[in-house]
Structure 1
Amino acid sequence: MTTHIGILPADILQAIALGGPSDSILPPSRFIRLLHPRTGLPCLFLSYNQSPQATQILEVQGVSPINARSWTLGEEVISDGKLLILTPIDPAFLLIPILKSTMPTDGTSGSFRPADDIFEDAISKLSGESNDVVPVVDITSFVEMDCARRALRRVCEMKEVASNITVYRFSSAKVVDYVRKKVDHMSSFPVIEMSRSITRNLAKDGLFDDGREVLLAAAKMKIACDLICQYLPPPESASLLASYDFADLTAFMKQLEEENLTTIANSGKGTKTLKETNGDKKRKITKGSQGVEKLKKANVKGMAKLSTFFLQKKL
């Protein structure tokens, strides 16, 4: 069995530390393959049960070194230097490609249907389109999870047609409204400033200067949008960005870019002027040298040397 080094959330690590492979404390888990909400490509996820009523989904990402690397774990050497990172992901994002697969192709909103009907339709279509790249059993397992059922309310319009019957219809507008809350949360709290690279870029652009508080807030919001858009299909990403007014920030960044280009251009002119000055000096030296060379070629036969004019004359 291949061994890998991975980074997992603290609660899973705690459960592993407290329990063992045969201990019931260790949460039941399994790997599933689902469509990524942005690319639509099959990706690997880990589902595990925090409790009988709570299932969490983790995205599995692999970071591979450019050159060959290995890990040393105790006395064991693991030849595969890849690092696996497992991070929680909102099930609502994973529902988007599943629900969109059931939408009419004519651009209409479609009709309200019970959740079971929508998921049955999605499984039928995705299993045929993906050629079993996304296993039917994985899609079925995901849509039956309690976390997926609860997430329906975040990305769908709902209607109560009876006391025990609720129907749903996917809504891009509902998706945008939902992720806007995530953007506001991410940009309002010091989550973005925890990244040193992002903070350095903001400081380099002068957004931490006094009087630019509004632009700094807009920049943080734009960064939050870009991060969340990594988990949205292109239409929903465009709608999310269009729901904010980044006009002042865009104008500021454009002006900053133009100033940088002007500085670079002026720096180039200064270098060119210096080269031209050095070139003129060289040409003058060269011209003088040519005159000397002509004098060297002149016929001096019979001419007195210049030194004779300074000799003491005999009386």
Structure 2
Amino acid sequence: MPRTRTAKAAAPSSPAAETPKASSSKYSLEATKTASPKLFVLPKAASKEAKIVTLPNPRTAKPSRYLVCPQTGFYEFTKIAAPNSVPRSWLIETTHVSQRSGHTISDAECFIASPLDPVFLLLPSLAESSIAKGSDDKKKLFLSGDDYFDQLPTEYSHLEEILQWTESKSVLESRMAAICDTVDAGDEKMFRINREKLVMLCLSKARTLSGSLPVSVEKQFVAKALQAPVVNQRRAPVQKSASTLSEAPDSGTSTLLTESLESQSSAATIETAATSVDQDTVEVEEGIKPTEEVVELQRLRVALDFICDRYISPAVTQWLKEGLASSNVQFSALDEYLARVTELRAEALALRSLGDYSRKHMRDEDDDDAREQKKRKMEDEKRRKQNQSRGVRDLKKVNTTGMMKLSSFFQKK
């Protein structure tokens, strides 16, 4: 029978070859069953009756959180979070000495309550009839405050609970009167929005904000937006004659110098007759600079745009800016300056494109010259090889390894 080979049995694995077990932590933490708490910074003036409520956002109409206090008014929350590149956490300790427990919040988020003018919360219902097509300010009806409150979105809203507070309702009605025409109908006051009053209110808030813009906003949206491009202009070359430089106040010295120059060689004569040309000098034309009035108008526009983008819906913003043209604040000087800056930037871009094309054209010409020289060299080499005789070509094929060259016989010994 033919022999058969059997494989050797695999050696049992040694204990050292086994995968080490994962080391258990010294302290085991239980998973949190409840949601992680949030850190809020509330105003000291807020009373104990203050509550965090849900109201429709004035710009998006989505439910948002606000702090309402019957004594101090309305507050909005601003979320401040650490960047993703630098993760951080909060360590919160209880204020009671008897309780030794604390809490760690993994997300270093902080919500700061800042005062909010409630007129922006009511603006969507106040301006709804005004922004409708074909509406006339004189034909709009006066409505009560409750009628405007009912027009606001009620989904997930705590507005009804807020209106039960007498102080909060009076604050809302007083802020409505700041942008509305009012009439008394018995014991009840009626309101109708006035666009001029709304424009003046927004401009007043924008002036206050423009005086304290952050450094980053000032640099990005004010200084950079008003910066005009710098245009370079090349002067014509200036020529200076060498004979004018050699003139001296003494006429005799000038005559001797002229005679000596005439007796020199032709090269010296050419050098004397030549003119020295200075290098082309570049004249830098500084861009236009904005006046202080233009800078203040730009700050005011940036602040006004920020208020509109944050608290006013796009439709109401367009209606508001239409009324801005008839206000006492005119942005014509700013618009003219920005139009001039736009023209200069277009010219600078065209000059830059022309310069790039010229440099590219020069590079293309250099590449063409290099290719032409290479082609000419290859043709000369090919022509030289064709002119060689057959004997010379055969001699080149001879193996000369180990043979002395002919020139070695003529060297000095």
> How does the TM-score come out when normalised to structure 1?
0.71
1:171 aligns with 2:191: no
CA pair 210-295 structure 1, distance change in 2 beyond 3 A: same
Match of 1:148 among 164, 172, 186: 172
Question: Percentage identity across aligned positions?
Answer: 20
More displaced stretch, 296-305 vs 227-236 = 296-305
Shift of 1:96: 0.7
Q: Aligned-pair RMSD on alpha carbons?
A: 3.8
Shift of 1:37: 1.9
Residue of structure 1 in register with 2:36 after alignment: 2
The equivalences for 1:1-315 within 5 A come to 1-6=35-40, 8=41, 12=43, 14=44, 27-49=48-70, 51=71, 54-61=72-79, 63=81, 65=83, 69-73=87-91, 77-100=104-127, 107=135, 110-119=140-149, 121-122=150-151, 126-127=153-154, 132-135=155-158, 137=160, 140=163, 144-162=168-186, 164-187=187-210, 189=211, 191-192=212-213, 194-204=214-224, 205-206=226-227, 212-230=291-309, 231-242=311-322, 243=324, 244-246=330-332, 247-295=335-383, 297-301=385-389, 302=391
CA pair 78-251 structure 1, distance change in 2 beyond 3 A: same
**C-alpha separation between the residues in 1 aligned to 2:364 and 2:164?**
74
CA pair 42-5 structure 1, distance change in 2 beyond 3 A: same
Q: Deviations over 1:156-214 (max 9, x none)?
A: 2111345x442112334432232122233333x3x13x323422553333379755223
- The size of the alignment, in residue pairs, is 280
Whether contact under 8 Å (2:127, 2:316) holds in the other structure is no
SS at match of 2:151: helix
More displaced stretch, 71-80 vs 220-229 = 71-80
What amino acid sits opposite 1:213 in the alignment?
Answer: E
Residue of structure 1 in register with 2:248 after alignment: none
Point out the structure with max Rg over C-alpha: 2
**C-alpha separation between the residues in 1 aligned to 2:354 and 2:109?**
46
Whether contact under 8 Å (1:172, 1:236) holds in the other structure is no
Gaps of 5+ in 2: 1-34, 93-101, 229-286, 325-329, 396-405
Whether contact under 8 Å (1:156, 1:171) holds in the other structure is yes
Whether contact under 8 Å (1:70, 1:80) holds in the other structure is yes
SS at match of 2:61: coil
Gaps of 5+ in 1: 16-24
Q: Deviations over 1:218-237 (max 9, x none)?
A: 21122122112122222332
> How does the TM-score come out when normalised to structure 2?
0.56
Shift of 1:26: 5.4
**C-alpha separation between the residues in 2 aligned to 1:142 and 1:289?**
98
Q: Deviations over 1:19-44 (max 9, x none)?
A: xxxxxx85432222222222222222
More displaced stretch, 98-107 vs 272-281 = 98-107
What amino acid sits opposite 2:297 in the alignment?
Answer: A
**C-alpha separation between the residues in 1 aligned to 2:319 and 2:189?**
27
